[in-house]
Structure 1
Amino acid sequence: MMDRQDIDQLALRLASLVPPGLAQAHQDLRANFSDVLAQGLRRLDLVTREEFEVQSLLLARTRAKVDELERRVADLEASAAARGN
């Protein structure tokens, strides 16, 4: 997720697009851009990189466990089929 510094840098870039004749409004626009960007990002309900990494690791472990269980079930089915023949 973007931190406050990233938001401020983006707001500064947006404010730099304002024509030079409106230098007085430059600071106001920069603050407004920053607030609007921060509010918009909060509404997106994004997760942090750390939360994403934790969930990725959990998913990988779960996938490995499911693969192992599928292998064991297949072995048991094969064993049962061999005994049935």
Structure 2
Amino acid sequence: MMLGQKMFEEISGKLGQALADSPAKDLEKNLRAVLQGVFAKLDLVTREEFDVQQAVLLKTREKLEALEAKVAELEARHGGEASEESGNLAL
């Protein structure tokens, strides 16, 4: 069993070295550069940037809902006064 594992590791190492020295490595580098250029033109964001903006949006939404509730409360509390004042202006 150990002999088979050792042989597998040796063959794997030789294949890895052969690929590193081959034109396939250059092809990989060129393809990676092309893909990075395409992604840059697409105006993509990283997952980290997306998560940060999502958290900001959630916090903003919570503040907006709190303010809307506060405005509704103030309008309900002072609703009668506001309608009386608008009635006086119409006269």
Write the deviation string for residues 2-60 of structure 1: whole angstroms up to 9, x where unpaired.
xxxxxxxxxxxxxxxxxxxxxx8755544433221121111112111111111111110
Alignment partner for residue 62 of structure 1, among 60, 63, 66? 60
Alignment partner for residue 81 of structure 1, among 65, 79, 82? 79
- Structure with bigger helix share is 2
Q: CA RMSD in A?
A: 2.2
What amino acid is aligned across from residue 37 of structure 1 in structure 2? Answer: L
1:51 is matched with 49
C-alpha distance in 1 between matches for 2:26 and 2:32:
10
TM-score using structure 1 length: 0.58
Q: Percent identity?
A: 44
Alignment partner for residue 33 of structure 1, among 31, 34, 39? 31
C-alpha distance in 2 between matches for 1:81 and 1:71:
14
How many residues are treated as equivalent by the alignment?
62
C-alpha distance in 2 between matches for 1:55 and 1:28:
37
TM-score using structure 2 length: 0.54
- Who wins on radius of gyration, i.e. which is larger? 2
Q: Where in structure 1 are there 5+ consecutive unaligned residues?
A: 1-23
Q: Where in structure 2 are there 5+ consecutive unaligned residues?
A: 1-21, 85-91
